[in-house]
Structure 1
């Protein structure tokens, strides 16, 4: 599917209730973690970290941290990355979810409790930047600015979307995934009474999840568009860029864009 529609997602709207947004993010985190959605990109991210000599990841638009734990633990299995640290950031921080991840993975995962604009990351947050399941939220102009900020600060960046942009994925968002959400919600941690209320009594979380999940796929940038954004963000060709799709062993795809400075060095 090459079509990209710049529709809106409710979770992007400033007035959207935080309790509903948090419930949606918690569900997304649970599903991404349970399915190991981002395991196929671990070798790609490892190679990028080796090339840039980084031992720090700064996750932009982290939401509730879906995928972070699995990817972090997998990367730390490699001898040259056993000291890897990850800092979670977001324009709408989710400290309740992040504290759970940080406690479970000290000192590998920490977080920035104040809002962080992915288009202008503070210099106090150095490291290789990643963005999981969130790049589609940015319009072309904003996406280009996000990449340009990484180039300007000479920070490598990896963009990863846990889908391949297929019509089948939209069908799943309307059929299988809502049923799964109803079944797994009681098991999502940290426990939240409001999550139960707005899933079962007043089912706003499932309804908004269906809409936002559908729009997410329609807003996704396929690899060719990711590379076009990167080239516009990096007119002086300071970075080496690659984009494509990798397939999970059980079928689903992950779309990715990775950019790193041409100057390379390998970790000792």
Structure 2
């Protein structure tokens, strides 16, 4: 499937924050309940072991769903506590505070805005991006990888899809029904989420659009491999492909770490 860099509502700086946060809360709920990213645990373990790093720096965290359930599993695999720091250009502090409390501070956050193309030097650890790399243009995506190489940091890109046509059908037909069914169970509880789901169904409408467009915008393993060939700096090990979920769905991944 070709890549189409179409319009996503959530990307727009003027998009209402109340809608953006509720949309990322929904994504977090789905990711954690379905265990979409469980297949990438061995890949994150590999980056930690090969670099000697003992912590994870998550970029473009949204509501933090990617690592909420993975952190204790990764720690169990490593044999020690692997702390996680959540960051984003538009920090979702309310959701992150809840995750920090529920994880007993194993997952913390950077309250200031963090640009994934120019991560501050003081923020270190194996870098991860879950369900977010497709938001960036090829130039921006290249800059994210180059920044990791410039600062000699390992980086893992993970997209909860195999970029397949049946996933477009899934997003188009099932997303709205799922949202109407699970909205009352999403935490933290928000009256705004109920209002913009049931009275004015803005959240389901915008999420449906962005969900379909997200699949169309994703970079295939071949595209990701081509990006790594353009990077300049010290030698890196790069691996890309599909990690298979127990449901049969695939997760696109790219991992890289200094030789």
What's the TM-score, normalizing by structure 1?
0.95
Could you tell me how far apart the structure 1 residues matched to 2:168 and 2:154 are? 31
User: 2:144 corresponds to which residue?
Assistant: 146
Matches within 5 A, 1:207-246: 207-232=205-230, 234-236=231-233, 238-246=235-243
Report the counterpart of residue 188 of structure 1 in structure 2.
186
2:37 aligns with 38
Count, aligned residues:
259
Distance 1:152 1:24 in 2: 33
CA contact (8 A) 1:231 1:237 kept: no
CA-CA distance at 1:235 after TM superposition: 3.1
Match of 1:249 in 2: 246
Note if contact 1:199-1:205 (Cα within 8 Å) is conserved in structure 2.
yes
Contact 2:146–2:232 (CA under 8 A) maintained in structure 1:
no
1:171 corresponding residue in structure 2: 169
Q: Summarize deviations over 1:115-155 as a string: whole Å, max 9, x none.
A: 00000000110111000000000100000000000000000
Unaligned regions of 5+ residues in structure 2, if any?
Answer: none
Out of 200, 208, 217, the position equivalent to 2:198 is: 200
- Matched with 1:67 is 66
Aligned to 2:83: 85
Conservation of the 8 A alpha-carbon contact between 1:163 and 1:253: yes
Q: Could you say what the CA RMSD is over the residues aligned between the two structures, in angstroms?
A: 0.9
Off by >6 Å, runs of 4+ in structure 1: none
Matched residue, 1:265: none
Q: How does 1:115-126 map to 2 (within 5 A)?
A: 115-126=113-124
1:8 to partner: Cα distance: 1.6
User: 2:157 maps to what in 1?
Assistant: 159
Is residue 49 of structure 1 aligned with residue 22 of structure 2?
Answer: no
Report the secondary structure of 1:106's partner residue.
Answer: coil
